[in-house]
Amino acid sequence: MAEFTMELNDEQKEVRDWLHGFAADVIRPAAAEWDEREETPWPVIQEAAKVGIYSLDFYAQQYFDATGLGIPMAMEELFWGDAGIALSIVGTGLAAVGVLANGTEEQIGTWIPQMYGDANDVKVAAFCSSEPDAGSDVASLRTRAVYDEAKDEWVINGTKTWATNGGIANVHVVVASVDPELGSKGHASFIVPPNTPGLAQGQKFKKHGIRASHTAEVILDNVRVPGSCLLGGKEKLDERLARARERAAKGGERVKNAAMATFEASRPAVGAMAVGTARAAYEVALDYAKTREQFGRPIIDNQGVAFQLADMRTQIDAARLLVWRASWMAVNGKPFTAAEGSMSKLFASETAKKVTAQAIQILGGNGYTREYPVERMHRDAAIYTIFEGTSEIQRLVISRTISGMPIR
């Protein structure tokens, strides 16, 4: 087990500087264009693939970093560049985490490479969990998967929404109910291979922020997938369902389901994304405050501005520390006894919204225009308090964890 440290080692620093250079030289110059176009920035993703950032090998190296700091460090630097483009680059990672968290070794080896493609033919993947009537309330999920024993196939029907890369993905990971009576305990995750009949893109959403990232509905109409596409395998699923039914008969007990396992693993990473966006806005505001003059002196000489910047920097550093702690705990098998993963996501996402709003205020009228990037950063920051569990859900998870109440 790696000891917790707040100091990156030499190799991590080298990776951080490499990512920062890519974010500064490739992502940032393209940010405004792809925000306006509201399209997937395929050329930028391909550039990331060419240098090795958008690849299974890079993601695995960071994911299996013994300190736990590889992923949050990478997320912070990429999202410092631009949240929309960065999400297009890392969005496949949520589906990959779903397979890593719940799949067999064979499934991991088979499907994750197909999620990324290669530098000459990049692919993306989608994790499909939310539904029109089941976002935060995962127990209300209506997408059904029914096992056809004669053909050893699962038949999936339903509609997914808010899916990053939904419909344009090469591989979709779909969460479906296999036993509705068990609520969220009766869920399972399935791989939907490329070009599977019955899967189609529904509405593509025009969003307030992260507009370079594709978000859409996914329609599943009698989608048939082989039995081997059930993540973890049927034997493991049957055992888990049997335990859930037994516990339900005894009055109920918490049982982790596939979607929740994915979100638990990814929440600190989302916190790191928020830290990157907040840091970017803070740096713009700091530079502006040191050069913008009013009443014959730089505006940073005014306490009203200087104190805001002091608070912004303090909150960003505190958010990063919470993210790093949760990331270290996760990779070293430390249980989140106080919902530390949710803590990190909650504080970092709220910090990003606050800091980007303060940055606009410091820039004044200029901050409200698209000539400066802080208005885009503020629009982007709003998503962090919503996706992968709203701030209200994070508070619910934290409160129920520290009180010992079940999380349903």
Q: Which residues are catalytic?
A: 388
Would you state the structure tokens that stand for residue 49, as one six-digit string?
């693939």
Estimate the share of the chain in helix, then strand, then coil, as percent rounded to the nearest 5.
60, 15, 25
Neighbours of 64 (CB within 10 A): 12
Asked if 189 contacts 174 with a C-beta cutoff of 8 angstroms, the reply is: yes
Strand partners, 172: 126, 192
CA-wise closest residue to 335 among 254, 273, 236: 254
Cα–Cα dist 361/369, whole Å: 12
DSSP-derived secondary structure for 111-137: HHHHHHEETTEE--EEEE--BTTBSS-
Neighbours of 234 (CB within 10 A): 16
CA-wise closest residue to 380 among 286, 277, 279, 267: 277
Match 């109910």 to its residue by tokens. Answer: 177
Cα–Cα dist 299/364, whole Å: 11
b/e code 183-208 from CB counts within 10 Å (16+ = b) = bbbbbbbbbbeeebeebebbeebebe
b/e code 357-394 from CB counts within 10 Å (16+ = b) = bbbbebbeeebeeeebbbbbbbbbbbbbbebbbbbebb
Amino acid at 241: L
Would you state the structure tokens that stand for residue 133, as one six-digit string?
């009537």
Q: Between the CA of residue 203 and those of 36, 128, 182, what are the distances in Å?
A: 19, 14, 30
Cα angle 388, 390, 394; round to 5:
95
